[in-house]
Amino acid sequence: MKVLKFGGTSVGSSKNINNVINILENYGKSDTVVCVVSAVGGITDKLLLAGNQALNKDHNFLETYEDIVSKHFDLIKELNPSDSKTILGYVEERLRGLKSLLEGIYLINELSPKTSDKLVSYGELLSSFIIAETMKNRGLSANRKNSQELIITNSNFSKAEVDYSITNENIKDYFKTVQEDITILPGFISKSKIGEITTLGRGGSDFTAAIVAAALDVDQLEIWTDVSGMFTTNPKLVKQAYPIDKISYQEAMELSHFGAKVLYPPTVQPVLSLNIPIHIKNTLEPEAVGTIISNDETNSTAPVKGISNISNIALLTLEGSGMVGIPGFSKRLFETLSQEKINIIMITQASSEHSICLAIEAQDAEAAKVAIDAVFENEIELNKIDPIIIETGLSIIALVGDNMKNHQGISGKMFSSLGKNNINIRAIAQGASEKNITAVIGEKDVKKALNTLHEQFFEAQNKQINVFITGVGNVGERLVEQIKQQKKYLKDNLKIKLRIVGLSNSRRMIFDEHGLDLKNWKADLADSQEASLQGFFQNVKALNLRNSIFVDVTANKEISELYAQYLRESIAVVACNKIACSSDFENYKLLKRLSLKYNAPFLFETNVGAGLPIIDTLNNLVASGDKVNSIQAVLSGSLNFVFNNFNDSTKFYDIVKQAGAEGYTEPDPRIDLSGVDVARKILILARESGVEMNLEDIENSSFLSESGQKSGSVDDFYETLIQDEAHYQALYASAKANNSQLKYVAKFDNGKASVGLQEIPEGHPFYNLEGSDNIVMFYTERYPTNPMIIKGAGAGADVTASGLFADIIRLGND
Ligand code: ADP
Ligand code: ASP
Ligand code: MG
């Protein structure tokens, strides 16, 4: 004999019911089959909705009722196109009973748990009848038996407890006499000893099937649903979740207790002691292997088997000095909740006994508070304990696995990966058997937490990085193209799934939670919503994705002022914009602090020397205990270009103009030629070496003519270059006479920094610096005389973009 159960979706459409009938017909050829069915998908909720509408004198209850009627009528007609009359006749009569019940609720303004159970029982009664009659119509040997005549409970309406001795006898007796190959039973519903209609709790059809399977001691219980087994985590919230082949009873119970809706938690209990395996199968994909729940060795050594979650949780905290060392507090607390029939999902108690914290369903919170405050009224009055504190808007997440006890560091990994993603944990509990580790977190973080934990424990090698880029000018555009080109390589070789989720220029911004399709990103961006800096931030924050990185590819001051906001949300910041790191020292320090506090890296390698690994090298030197004595560097690609091309047969003005036209200078060339840009860079290197310094502390002796330094506009400035050609030619002539090259040099020495034009003699490492190359020499305690030298292209869109890209990947490898 076989026991199968089909859930709401499985019997939710004529197509699915036809699938069910096919499966049953096949099974029925070789064995006697018992089939437990749920109400048609969504009908239990609709019945409850109609009941509540009637209770609240809301006339829409009739509309909801009509909805229920037409759903069933449609099914009957679709399933029995040529002969639906008899079934319709019976169903119409039952539905009239339902309507009278709803009208009664409307008239007397009352919906007791007892009436509510009667109301919802219609769902399973109708579905089981329709399916059995359809099978009979098709000539199959089938019959419907009302399980209320078999399953007997107490009168604990809405979640009644089964009297197994009577129930088991009833089931055994009944099935001794059954003639048909296939018996259809309505799930979920039962009767009390005095004949009242009761139900076994929401999702209880699974339980009905388990009760029947155990009473008949069958070989296997099959639960057919709308997913291909019990998944590693809720597949609706985590795309990467996958079905677990085999799982123990205990693990399945823990996962379902903590919210894996695919199995109603009490289901395991009747079959456990008889060792009857539960096979979870998918009606919509019958060939999928599904999940076997049993006591068999699973051969799996993975410590974590699954992750589950429960929404709508409230946390109750009872605390006060009067609780310490006084016996009986917990007893009174738990008794009170038990009398109120409030289910406790999780308990934690501080070892000082100073407080107890309980997680319950949010809908029970108010009743719990009233009852507990009443019971402890005296103690509260005497200030021995505080009135109970209730927090809502919470969720529970749980890691489950029999093997967790044999592995160190699981909870460490769990909490550090949640912490890295700024997920605040309100309470923690670990079962004494170490089969689960449970945490209470904010509802808004559930999806992010499940995805983070799933990645941590089930996709060990894969890390998803969610990138948000502001600024798609020259460099930004190259960055997007490089990411587009390298995506597959990163996934295949570094196991990094890099996605651009948001893009913005100064006019438009575009987002896609699942990663932008980069095929036509420019056109897509041009067609998207209007951009704003705060709007961009709000979107990044609301998406709340793990491993989020904000990338600033602008030179905009306002954007640099938003880094703190991003870091406070644990969103990493990668910037080629130099303004933040060369701003006031306090602000630079604040960003560093926030980065540490919120576990959000702040990387700005491209602030100095574009893609050259200058800052990273410096950080490594300092971190490994080296001390920087001095730095000498040529850090301006633009000034290098200018002085490498300027000589006595060219004009200074022409060279500066050419540098601008070729993209080597800022639109305002004074930023480069005044040395401010280089001063910012040496300032950043000095700070990263551990020195407190501000831009004003850097000595900057300008090589510009006096009128050049005073010019009020870009045009005026160019004019001075023409006027003062002699001044610039004199600089060149002096260098030539001294057999030297002109280089714009930045220095940091003994805590002091300076920038300025210098004549570099032959033989010096700077002498032969070509094109727009940069060079940095670090003299440190470990490199006292022969410096560590980093040299190479220090400007240009491609190398800067690749420097940003390297910072992003560095986070992926974190
Ligand atoms: P049925 O109506 O067949 O009883 P349910 O809706 O009660 O089906 O349970 C199946 C649903 O459980 C799935 O559609 C899925 O959304 C949800 N679910 C939550 N957690 C899990 C999990 N870990 N594995 C599989 N399904 C899960
Ligand atoms: N129909 C009931 C419910 O929706 C029982 C079940 O489907 O298991 O809760
Ligand atoms: Mg279910």
The number of the ligand 1 atom at minimal distance from the alpha carbon of 232 is 23
Q: Which atom of ligand 1 is nearest to the CA of 225?
A: 3
Residue 596 and residue 647 in one domain: no
Point out the ligand 1 atom lying closest to the alpha carbon of residue 233.
23
pLDDT tens across 651-705, in order?
Answer: 999 999 998 888 777 778 998 999 999 999 999 999 999 999 999 999 999 999 9
Measured in Å, residue 223 CA sits from the centre of ligand 3 at: 9
C-alpha of residue 769 to centroid of ligand 2, in Å: 77
Distance CA 318, CA 296 (A): 42
How far, in Å, CA of 678 to CA of 637, rounded? 10
Cα–ligand 2 centroid distance for 44 (angstroms)? 6
DSSP 569: T
428 is a domain residue = yes
Collapsed DSSP state (helix, strand, coil) of residue 435: coil
CB 288 within 8 A of CB 228: yes
pLDDT digits (tens, 9 = 90+) for 64-123: 999 999 999 999 999 999 888 999 999 999 999 999 999 999 999 999 999 999 999 999
Distance 229 CA to ligand 1 centre (A): 9
Tell me the CATH number at 592. 3.40.50.720
**Residue 778: partners with Cβ closer than 8 Å, 6 or more residues away:** 617, 618, 621, 628, 631, 787, 788, 789, 790
Residues 453 and 475 in one domain: no
Q: How many helices (H) and strands (E) does the chain have?
A: 29, 30
Of 168, 197, 218, the residue that ends a domain is 218
> What CA–CA distance (Å, rounded) separates 648 from 644?
12
* 786-to-111, 615, 621, 630 alpha-carbon distances in Å: 88, 19, 15, 12
Is the predicted pLDDT of residue 298 greater than 70, yes or no? Answer: no
The yes-or-no verdict on residue 492 having pLDDT over 90 is no
Ligand in closest contact with the CA of 9: 1
Residues 6+ apart with CB under 8 A from 286: 19, 23
CB within 8 A of 95, min separation 6: which ones? 68, 69, 72, 122, 126
**Residue range of the domain that includes 545:** 463-607
Residue 279 lies in a domain: no
Question: How remote is the CA of residue 225 from the centroid of ligand 1, in Å?
Answer: 7
Indicate the top mutation candidate among 45, 200, 202, 206 to test ligand 2's pocket, ranked by most ligand atoms within 8 A of CB: 202
Q: Whose Cα sits closest to atom 11 in ligand 1?
A: 262
Contact status, residue 633 vs residue 682, Cβ threshold 8 Å = yes
Which is catalytic among the residues 5, 136, 246, 681?
A: 681
The per-residue DSSP string of 510-521 comes to EE-TT----TTH
Task: Give the number of whichever ligand sits closest to the CA of residue 264.
Answer: 3
Which residues are near ligand 3, the ion (C-beta closer than 5 Å)? 7, 203
- Residue 223 confidence (pLDDT) above 80: yes
How far apart (Å, rounded) are the C-alpha atoms in residues 8 and 344? 27
**CATH code at position 398:** 3.30.2130.10
Is 681 noted as a catalytic residue in this protein?
yes
In Å, how far are 727, 750, 758 from 682, measured between CA atoms? 27, 13, 16
Q: Is residue 261 part of a domain?
A: no
Query: Which residue is it, tokens 């910037």?
Result: 575
**Are residue 10 and residue 28 in the same domain, yes or no?**
yes
Ligand 1 shell residues, CB under 6 Å: 7-10, 38, 203, 225-227, 230-231, 233-236, 260-262, 306, 308
Q: Do 422 and 478 fall into the same domain?
A: no
Count of CB atoms situated within 10 Å of the CB of 436: 25
Q: How confident is the model at residue 352 (pLDDT cuts 50, 70, 90)?
A: low
pLDDT score of 350 more than 80 = no
Inform me whether the pLDDT recorded for 300 exceeds 90: no
Q: Give residue for tokens 């670990």.
A: 430
Testing ligand 2's pocket by substitution, the residue of 16, 48, 188 carrying the most ligand atoms inside 8 A of its CB is: 188
Is 331's pLDDT higher than 70?
yes
- pLDDT score of 403: 87
Residue 408 pLDDT: 83
Ligand closest to CA 36? 2
Do 349 and 406 fall into the same domain? yes
- E strands present in 290-424: 291-294, 306-319, 344-349, 355-361, 389-400
pLDDT category at 584 given cuts 50, 70, 90 is: very high
Q: Of 222-236, 290-304, 408-422, which one has max mean pLDDT?
A: 222-236
Q: Which two tokens stand for residue 81?
A: 């196109």
Q: How many whole angstroms from 280 Cα to the centroid of ligand 3?
A: 11
Residue nearest to atom 9 of ligand 1 (CA): 262
In this structure, the residues whose C-beta lies within 6 A of any atom of ligand 2 are: 7-8, 38-39, 44, 123, 187-188, 202-206
For the domain that residue 88 is a member of, what is the CATH number?
3.40.1160.10
Between the CA of 199 and the centroid of ligand 2 the distance, in Å, is 10
How far apart are alpha carbons 602 and 588 in whole angstroms? Answer: 11
The reply to whether 72 falls in a domain is yes
Facing residues of 399 across strands? 307, 437
- The two three-digit tokens of residue 241, written as one number: 């979740």
Residue 630 phi/psi, 5-degree rounding, is: -155, 160
Q: Which atom of ligand 1 is nearest to the CA of 10?
A: 3
CA distance 548 to 214: 50
Residues 391 and 494 in one domain: no
- Residue whose Cα lies nearest atom 8 of ligand 2: it is 203
- Residue to probe by mutation, ligand 2, list 116, 158, 159, 205, most atoms within 8 Å of CB: 205
417 and 496, same domain (yes or no): no
- Count CA atoms closer than 13 A to 570's CA, side-chain side: 20
Distance CA 583, CA 636 (A): 19
**CB–CB of 121/192 below 8 Å?**
no
pLDDT (tens digit per residue) in 698-754: 999 999 999 999 999 999 999 999 999 999 999 999 999 999 999 999 999 989 999
What's 757's domain CATH number? 3.30.360.10
Residues 197 and 94 in one domain: yes
Spatial separation of the C-alpha atoms in residues 45 and 457, rounded to whole Å: 35
In a shared domain, residues 58 and 193: yes
Position 813 pLDDT exceeds 80: no
Instruction: Tell me which ligand sits closest to the C-alpha of residue 6.
Output: 1
pLDDT at 487 over 80: yes
Domain annotation covers residue 174: yes
The confidence band for 506, taking pLDDT boundaries of 50, 70 and 90, is very high
Whether 265 is in a domain gets the answer no
Residues 596 and 638 in one domain: no
Provide mean pLDDT across the span 257-278.
Answer: 95
Q: What is the per-residue DSSP string for 662-681?
A: TT-S-SSTHHHHTSHHHHHH
CA of residue 126 to ligand 2 center, whole Å: 13
Lowest mean pLDDT among 167-181, 347-361, 435-449: 347-361
The whole-number average pLDDT for the span 56-68 is 97
Angle between helical axes of 725-737 and 714-723 (0-180°, round to 10): 60
Tally of structural domains, the chain: 4
Instruction: Kindly state whether residues 54 and 201 are assigned to the same domain.
Output: yes
Q: What is the mean pLDDT of the chain?
A: 94
CA of 357 to the centre of ligand 1 (A): 29
Ligand nearest to the CA of 188: 2
Tell me which of 223, 227, 284 to substitute to probe ligand 1's pocket, judged by most ligand atoms within 8 Å of the beta carbon: 227
Among 458, 484, 509, the domain boundary falls at 458
Six token digits for residue 387: 């009135």
Point out the ligand nearest to the CA of residue 205: 2
pLDDT band at residue 297 under the 50/70/90 scheme:
low
Q: What is the pLDDT of residues 128-160, one digit of tens each?
A: 999 999 999 999 999 999 999 999 999 999 999
Tokens of 228: 């291909």
Q: Quick one: 593 and 709 in the same domain? A: no
d(CA 680, CA 687): 11
Mutate to test the pocket of ligand 1, among 261, 291, 457 (most ligand atoms within 8 A of CB): 261
Does the pTM surpass 0.85? The reply is no
326 has a pLDDT exceeding 90: no
Nearest atom within ligand 1 for CA of residue 283:
3
How close is the Cα of 21 to the center of ligand 1, in Å? 22
Q: Is 357 inside any structural domain?
A: yes
Q: 759 and 734 in contact (C-beta within 8 Å)? A: yes
Strands of 699-701's sheet in order across: 699-701, 752-761, 740-749, 628-634, 773-780, 788-793
For the CA of 208, the nearest atom of ligand 2: 8
CA 782–ligand 3 middle distance (angstroms): 67
Query: Which two tokens mark 127?
Result: 């579905």
DSSP notation for 95-129: HHHHHHHHHHHHHHT---HHHHHHHHHHHHHHHHH
> Last residue of a domain, which of 458, 483, 504?
458
For 170, 178, 181, 215, 220, the CA distances from 173, given in Å and listed in that order, are 5, 9, 16, 10, 20
DSSP-derived secondary structure for 154-218: -S-TTSPPB-HHHHHHHHHHHHHH--SSEEEEESSEEEETTS-EEE--TTTHHHHHHHHHHHTT-
